[in-house]
Amino acid sequence: MNTYVARIYGGFSYDKPELIHLETHSFTVKLKNADGTAADLSGFATAECAVGNTFDHVHNELMAYAFGDACRITDAAAGEIAVTLDCNTVKFGDVVRFNAQMAYLEINLFDTGAKMTRVLLDRVECRPHVRDQEGAPVSGDPQYYNKAEVDALISGGGGGTSDYDQLENRPQINSVTLTGDLTAHDLGLAATSDIPPAQVQSNWNETDTTSKSYIQNKPTIPTVPVQSVNGETGAVVLDASDVGAIAEPSTAGTTGQVLTETASGPAWQDIPAPDRSQTITQTGTAITPAPDAVFRHTLAANDSFTVDTSALTSSKQITFELQLIQPSTAVSFTLPSGILWSDGNSFSASNPVPEMTDANTLYCIVIRWDGSDLLANLAYSKEVSA
C-alpha cells in the first residue's frame, strides 16, 4: 500500500497515488500541519474521499468515491487515513477514454455532529487501463528516423529533388515511362478503334447486334392480364385494408412516435424509452453469469458458491455483481477458488479473499470475465437491517 503525504488545507505533497481505470487502489494519506508535524484528527469521527474532473459534484458525476470502511481514520494522532478507491466506474472510463487526465482528489472529515471539514484538495493523475505511452524500442538497431534525422530530411540535409522528371527509375507501363499526359493508346492498354469517342448510352430497342448500344441477353417479359386484385375487378383502387397495412390517421405524427393499430383505430403513440435499470435477482449458491446481472443472496451457514463459466468464451467479456448479505449472526461461507482477487494493484490467485464477516452487512462484489479468468474486487459494503 502506497503512502501519500500531504499538507492539511493545501500545500506541498508527494507520493501522490496514480489512479487507473478498472482497478482498485488502496493507499494511506498522512496529513501534515504547515510546520511538518502530524495533523491531529482526534476531533473527527468519519472520513470520505472523492475524485472528480471538476469541482461541481452536484451536476457532474464523481469518477470514484470512498466512505465507511473504504475511507477511515486509522491513526488520529498521526494524521493517517486509509483509503480504498474503486476506479471501475463509467464516469472514470469516460474521462480517460482517450488519454490520461488530471482530476481533483478531495478528503473531508466529519465530527460526531456530522459537521464537515475539507482537509485536502489536490490534483492526481488518472489513466486509462491500457497505457498511452510506449517505452524505448526493443531493437538495438531500430528501422526508423529520429527527430533530428527527420528535420534534416525536411530541411534538405538528406538531398533529393522535387522535380519528377529528374528522378531515376521512373515507373513504366508496357515499356513506356510515365511522364506528361499519356492516353490508354499511348500506354498500349487498348487499340484506338476499341475506344468510343464518348459514352454510349444503352438502347433497349436497338436491334442491330453490331451496334455498341445493343443490349445482349434481354429477358422476355410475358404479358399477363390482371383478372382481379384482392377479390376486386374492374378499375381497382386499393386501400390500406387490401394490403394489410395500417391506415394513416388524418393528423401527422411527431418525432418519437410510431403508428399503431389500437382498439379505436390507428393512432400515433410515443415510443417508450428503453429501461436501462438493472434487476436484482435473488439467487442460490450456483451462479450462471450474465452481462450486467445483479445476483443477491442472504448467507446461510457453510454456503459454498459455484460460478458456471461453461458458456463464457475468450472472445467476449462480461461484468456482473454478486451481493452477499450476512444475517444478524454472521456465518462462514466459501467462494470459488478460481476467482482472482485484487490487492489494490493487480489480480492474482495468491491474493487473499477480503473479509466479509460483519453481521447485518451487505457486501457487493464486482466480478469481470476478461476472456480467460474471473477477476473480482469488493466494491463496497453497507449496513442492512436484520
| Range of lowest pLDDT (207-221, 259-273, 287-301, 339-353) | 259-273
Confidence bin at 132 (pLDDT 50/70/90): very low
Q: Is residue 60 part of a domain?
A: yes
Q: For position 26, which CATH number holds? A: 2.60.40.3350
Closest CA to 352 of 366, 364, 337: 337
The answer on pLDDT for 6 being more than 90 is: no
Longest dimension (CA), the chain: 105
Rounded to an integer, what distance in angstroms lies between the CA atom of residue 328 and that of residue 299? 10
Q: Is residue 32 part of a domain?
A: yes
What pLDDT was estimated at residue 2? 61
pLDDT in tens, 138-166: 555 555 566 676 777 676 655 566 778 87
Q: Which of 109, 127, 145 is where one domain is finished?
A: 127
Confidence bin at 369 (pLDDT 50/70/90): very high
Rounded to an integer, what distance in angstroms lies between the CA atom of residue 278 and that of residue 134? 38
| Range of lowest pLDDT (43-52, 61-70, 94-103, 137-146) | 137-146
- What order do you get walking across the sheet with 46-52 strand by strand? 19-20, 116-127, 101-110, 46-52, 64-67
Read off the pLDDT of each residue in 184-194 and give the average, rounded to a whole number.
73
Q: Is residue 43 part of a domain?
A: yes
The answer on pLDDT for 64 being more than 90 is: yes
Residue-wise over 337-371: b if at least 16 C-beta within 10 A, else e? eebbbbebeebeeebeebebeeeebbbbbbbbbbe
Question: How many domains does the chain fold into?
Answer: 2
Read off the pLDDT of each residue in 11-37 and give the average, rounded to a whole number.
84
Q: Is residue 190 part of a domain?
A: no
What pLDDT was estimated at residue 191? 61
| Range of lowest pLDDT (188-192, 265-269, 273-277, 351-355) | 188-192
Q: Supply the pTM of this predicted model.
A: 0.34
The answer on pLDDT for 11 being more than 60 is: no
The domain of 90 spans: 2-127
| Range of lowest pLDDT (25-39, 121-135, 339-353) | 121-135
Q: How far is CA 20 from the centre of its chain?
A: 14
Closest CA to 88 of 24, 19, 131: 24
- What order do you get walking across the sheet with 80-86 strand by strand? 13-14, 2-7, 24-32, 80-86, 71-75
What pLDDT was estimated at residue 192? 58
More confident residue, 328 or 270: 328
Q: Is residue 202 part of a domain?
A: no
% of the chain exceeding 70 in pLDDT: 80
Q: Which of 127, 145, 165 is where one domain is finished?
A: 127
Confidence bin at 263 (pLDDT 50/70/90): confident
Q: Is residue 170 part of a domain?
A: no
What pLDDT was estimated at residue 240? 66
The answer on pLDDT for 169 being more than 60 is: yes
Q: Is residue 13 part of a domain?
A: yes
Rounded to an integer, what distance in angstroms lies between the CA atom of residue 196 and that of residue 201? 11
What pLDDT was estimated at residue 54? 86
At which residue does the C-alpha cell 494522532 appear?
A: 77
Q: Is residue 132 part of a domain?
A: no
Q: Which of 73, 95, 127 is where one domain is finished?
A: 127
Q: 30: exposed, middle or buried (C-beta count within 10 Å: 0-12, 13-18, 19+)? A: middle
What pLDDT was estimated at residue 245? 67
Confidence bin at 339 (pLDDT 50/70/90): very high
Output the nine-digit C-alpha cell for 120.
Answer: 485536502
pLDDT in tens, 198-237: 778 899 999 999 888 899 998 988 776 666 766 777 666 7
CB 87 within 8 A of CB 25: yes
More confident residue, 223 or 315: 315
Read off the pLDDT of each residue in 46-51 and give the average, rounded to a whole number.
94
Rounded to an integer, what distance in angstroms lies between the CA atom of residue 320 and that of residue 172? 62
